[in-house]
């Protein structure tokens, strides 16, 4: 009992400092240049590539520093790349309640849509001369009746985690993988089993609350909405000075890129591959390992 009390006090004390501390942007700290990641591969509105597919991800890998893909787990425990709560044929159908065979049959009926297994992307990464970064955006919100509650239950995240761990036994890419989600339970499962994977707490508003939570739970960083009107350069610096990396999204216009880069995040997520390619460290040669 005494041990728990001491641990609790240790966690809260630095958080209090964070919330009351003052950061001056004039005190410049040198950080590595931001890595540019393709959102859902090559973007949501690409005329050439369907999002979250092998072709879309390959394009991002070849032109940027890496890619971000959305992942969900099928009824059979297979991890697939997919963003939406509902499937293309019917919004009331969801991937977590669908078998692999049913997904493949559905893909065969659709002329303009395909499903991609995460394993295909991991295989691709192992064959590349320069291993890219892959950020996995774990989806767990299903307001279409997929589960009894809108948020996926623990057993769903446990199944997904076990599937991910099995894949990483075959493809040991842990040092190139990022997990981002607002579901602490999944992040904690990964933290306990795969300590080399970087964990990012997803956030849309109240950046300081994200800082507090990420530090309290020993995550590596925060994946955050760049369009939050209250987000500032000072907030980013505060996170960096407290040992957290920051991933910003969505960054698409030239003006947004200019501002975001000046704030020194660790990662920038973009659907504008052409603009991202101009700035990617893959092109400039910076941050070479």
3-class DSSP state of 9: helix
Q: How confident is the model over 271-283, as pLDDT tens digits?
A: 999 999 998 865 5
Please, are residues 70 and 81 in contact by the beta-carbon 8 Å criterion? yes
Q: Using CB atoms within 10 A of its CB, is residue 22 exposed (0-12), middle (13-18) or buried (19+)?
A: exposed
Read off the pLDDT of residues 253-271 as tens digits, 9 standing for 90 and up: 999 999 999 999 999 999 9
In 40-139, which residue ranges form alpha helices assigned H by DSSP? Answer: 54-63, 100-109, 118-127
Count of the separate structural domains present in the chain: 1
Residue 260 lies in a domain: yes
Residue 17 — pLDDT band, cuts 50, 70, 90? low
Other Cβ atoms within 10 Å of 49 Cβ, number: 20
- Residue 289 maps to a domain: no
Closest to 51 measured CA to CA, from 242, 283, 269, 275: 269
Instruction: Name the band, by pLDDT with cuts 50, 70 and 90, for residue 10.
Output: very low
In a domain, 287, yes or no: no
pLDDT, position 285: 58
Which CATH number do you get for residue 122? 3.20.20.190
Dist. CA 259–CA 250, nearest whole Å:
12
Q: What percent of the chain is predicted at pLDDT more than 90? A: 80
What is the rounded average pLDDT of the residues 175-189? 98
Closest CA to 34 of 256, 231, 242: 256
- Sequence-distant (6+) residues with CB within 8 A of 241 are 23, 29
pTM, two decimals, is 0.89
Domain assignment present for 227: yes
Which pLDDT belongs to residue 91?
A: 79
pLDDT, averaged across the chain? 90
184: domain range? 2-282
Domain assignment present for residue 288? The answer is: no
Residue (of 199, 181, 188, 173) closest to 266 by Cα position: 199
- E strands along the chain, which residues? 35-39, 66-73, 79-81, 116-117, 133-138, 177-181, 198-203, 221-225, 245-249, 267-270
Q: Is residue 174 part of a domain?
A: yes
**pLDDT over 70 at 2, yes or no:** no
Position 118 in a domain: yes
Cβ atoms of 80 and 115 within 8 Å: the answer is yes
Q: Cis bond leading into 250, ω under 30°?
A: yes
Give residue 58's pLDDT band: very low, low, confident or very high (50, 70, 90).
very high
């Amino acid at each position: 009992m005494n041990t728990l009390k001491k641990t609790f006090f240790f966690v809260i004390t630095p958080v209090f400092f964070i919330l009351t501390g003052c950061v001056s942007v004039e005190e410049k700290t040198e950080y590595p240049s931001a890595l540019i990641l393709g959102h859902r591969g090559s973007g949501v509105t690409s005329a050439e590539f369907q999002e979250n597919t092998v072709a879309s991800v390959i394009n991002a890998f070849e032109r940027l520093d890496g890619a971000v893909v959305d992942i969900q787990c099928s009824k059979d425990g297979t991890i697939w790349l997919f963003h939406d709560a509902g499937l293309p044929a019917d919004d009331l159908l969801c991937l977590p309640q669908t078998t692999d065979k049913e997904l493949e049959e559905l893909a065969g009926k659709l002329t303009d849509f395909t499903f991609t297994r995460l394993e295909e992307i991991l295989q691709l990464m192992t064959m590349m001369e320069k291993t890219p970064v892959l950020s996995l955006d774990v989806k767990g919100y299903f307001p279409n009746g997929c589960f009894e509650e809108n948020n996926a239950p623990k057993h769903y995240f446990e199944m997904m985690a076990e599937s991910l761990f099995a894949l990483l036994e075959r493809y040991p890419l842990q040092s190139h993988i990022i997990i981002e989600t607002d579901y602490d339970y999944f992040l904690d499962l990964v933290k306990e089993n795969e300590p080399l994977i970087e964990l990012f707490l997803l956030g849309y508003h109240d950046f300081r609350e994200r800082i507090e939570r990420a530090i309290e739970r020993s995550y590596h960083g925060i994946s955050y909405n760049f369009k939050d009107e209250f987000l500032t350069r000072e907030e980013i610096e505060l996170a960096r000075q407290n040992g957290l990396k920051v991933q910003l999204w969505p960054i698409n216009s030239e003006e947004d890129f200019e501002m975001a880069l000046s704030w020194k995040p660790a990662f920038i997520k973009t659907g504008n591959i052409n603009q991202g390619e101009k700035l990617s460290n893959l092109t400039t040669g910076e941050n070479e390992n």
